[in-house]
């Protein structure tokens, strides 16, 4: 994975010290050093063909992002299903897509009291009782959900207390369902460690990330919308993970003022969104930065045939190209077009190929970038008081019925 970021703002010398200090108390930085043997041992014992995540937000988006990234290039023996909604139409459709009696359920909630998660778990339990041979619980230590697991004799794993939900993809919350499906979680963590180590050893990632974070923070009032333009469908769920990470971490009130700040994330998929959102970027208000993500090697030989359509002979210029060549030429064309315009900050991330190590690198890269921007904006990246307010109101509404 490489990133080209050509803007060169002056970086605050104290930023690297602040991140090093934060690393002492915030847990996501060192998740790539954990022992995954217990997760792999569990995976070796699970016989069910359907792995079902019951969780929402950070308890589901990370695993979904990694699995979707890899699922289009390799076949897994087991299928992953994500139950992350209380929408009855979607929920019913998802439950019909697999055999509930041939499923292993990952019941995931950091707090242990997430209403959406518990509601879905109650429904499933009424159909197929959740117990040790078909369920694992992943939650905070001593949470009510962990106590439920103990009461039922269900095995459980803890999410580190200093790892927030949206930063938990590389914790047990993400690694266990991924291991159960068959993802190489060791390679995933090795990729993350590569970026982490390069950053803290002051290698290329450090300077690049520091410049990028500084630019985003210094220009937050001008370029308050950050567009992630990902040129492959494999990134669709990653984009969703990024939107939560960026929005929930960076939309805050500053620690030492009453000022509300934030950067708005937009996830786009190329070439599809060339035919929709691109117009707004090119000719709309200059309040958007763009990061293009592309894949260097698709390892796919699907090719456009050398045939002609009547009256469309002019389109024969695409004949003989691999589709992977075409999509990368589309990405490069958009990069060149945006680069030629004034006042549209642009950078490019290139993934070497679609594998577990590369997505691990990308995850850690964005977690680090989020932490750096938050420090520059003088906000707490790891709380979400705006979300908690809605949860409190919902509970009061439920009590009043």
The pLDDT tens digits of the residues spanning 97-141 come to 999 999 999 999 999 999 999 999 999 999 999 999 999 999 999
Catalytic residue among 10, 275, 311, 397: 275
Rounded to 5 degrees, what are φ and ψ at 150? -60, -40
> Are the C-beta atoms of residues 127 and 100 closer than 8 Å to each other?
yes
Q: Is 10 a catalytic residue?
A: no
Q: Is 248 a catalytic residue?
A: yes
Q: How far apart are CA 85 and CA 318, in angstroms?
A: 42
Q: What is the pLDDT of residue 252?
A: 94
Q: What is the mean pLDDT of residues 337-342?
A: 93
Q: Angle of helix 236-250 relative to helix 61-71, nearest 10 degrees?
A: 150
Catalytic residue among 78, 81, 253, 391: 391
Q: How far apart are CA 162 and CA 203, in angstroms?
A: 26
Q: Which domains does the chain have, with CATH numbers?
A: 2-17+191-377 (3.40.50.10490), 27-183 (3.40.50.10490)
pLDDT: is 248 or 397 the higher one?
248
Q: How far apart are CA 335 and CA 345, in angstroms?
A: 11
> Are the C-beta atoms of residues 53 and 83 closer than 8 Å to each other?
yes
Q: What is the pLDDT of residue 205?
A: 66
List alpha helices for 201-349, DSSP H.
204-218, 236-250, 278-283, 323-339
Tell me the pLDDT tens digit for each residue of 264-315. 999 999 999 999 999 999 999 999 999 999 999 999 999 999 999 999 999 9
Confidence of residue 394 (pLDDT cuts 50, 70, 90): confident
Cα separations in angstroms, 14 against 212, 268, 315, 375: 16, 34, 55, 10
Q: Is 68 a catalytic residue?
A: no
Element holding 59 (H helix, E strand): none
Question: Can you give the pTM of this predicted structure?
Answer: 0.94
Q: How far apart are CA 170 and CA 32, in angstroms?
A: 7
Catalytic residue among 116, 248, 358, 367: 248
Q: What is the pLDDT of residue 8?
A: 67
């Amino acid at each position: 994975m490489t990133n080209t970021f050509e803007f060169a703002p002056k970086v605050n010398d104290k930023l690297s010290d602040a991140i090093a200090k934060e690393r002492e108390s915030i847990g996501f930085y060192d998740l790539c050093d954990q022992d995954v043997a217990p997760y792999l041992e569990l995976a070796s014992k699970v016989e069910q063909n359907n792995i079902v995540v019951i969780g929402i937000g950070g308890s589901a988006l990370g695993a979904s992002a990694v699995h979707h990234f890899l699922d289009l290039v390799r076949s897994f023996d087991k299928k992953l299903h994500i139950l992350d909604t209380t929408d009855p139409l979607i929920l019913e459709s998802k439950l019909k897509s697999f055999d509930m009696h041939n499923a292993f359920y990952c019941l995931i909630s950091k707090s242990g009291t997430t209403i959406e998660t518990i509601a879905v778990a109650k429904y499933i339990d009424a159909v197929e009782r959740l117990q040790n041979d078909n369920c694992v619980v992943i939650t905070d230590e001593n949470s009510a959900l962990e106590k439920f697991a103990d009461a039922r004799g269900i095995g459980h794993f803890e999410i580190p207390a200093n790892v927030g939900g949206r930063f938990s993809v590389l914790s047990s919350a993400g690694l266990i369902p991924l291991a159960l499906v068959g993802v190489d979680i060791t390679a995933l963590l090795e990729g993350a460690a590569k970026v982490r180590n390069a950053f803290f050893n002051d290698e290329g990632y450090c300077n690049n990330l520091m410049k990028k974070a500084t630019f985003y923070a210094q220009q937050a009032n001008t370029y308050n919308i950050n567009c992630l333009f990902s040129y492959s469908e494999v990134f669709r769920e990653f984009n969703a993970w990024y939107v939560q990470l960026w929005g929930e971490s960076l939309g805050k009130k500053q620690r030492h003022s009453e000022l509300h700040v934030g950067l708005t994330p937009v996830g786009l998929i190329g070439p599809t969104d060339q035919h929709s959102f691109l117009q707004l970027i090119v000719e709309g208000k200059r309040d958007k930065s763009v990061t293009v993500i592309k894949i260097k090697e698709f390892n796919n030989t699907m090719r456009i045939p050398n045939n002609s359509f009547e009256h469309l002979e002019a389109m024969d210029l695409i004949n003989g190209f691999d589709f992977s060549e075409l999509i990368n030429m589309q990405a490069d064309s958009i990069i060149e077009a945006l680069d030629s315009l004034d006042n549209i900050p642009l950078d490019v991330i290139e993934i070497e190929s679609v594998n577990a190590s590369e997505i691990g690198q990308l995850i850690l890269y964005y977690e680090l970038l989020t932490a750096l921007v938050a420090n520059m904006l003088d906000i707490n990246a790891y709380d979400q008081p705006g979300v908690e307010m809605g949860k409190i109101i919902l509970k009061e509404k439920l009590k009043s019925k």
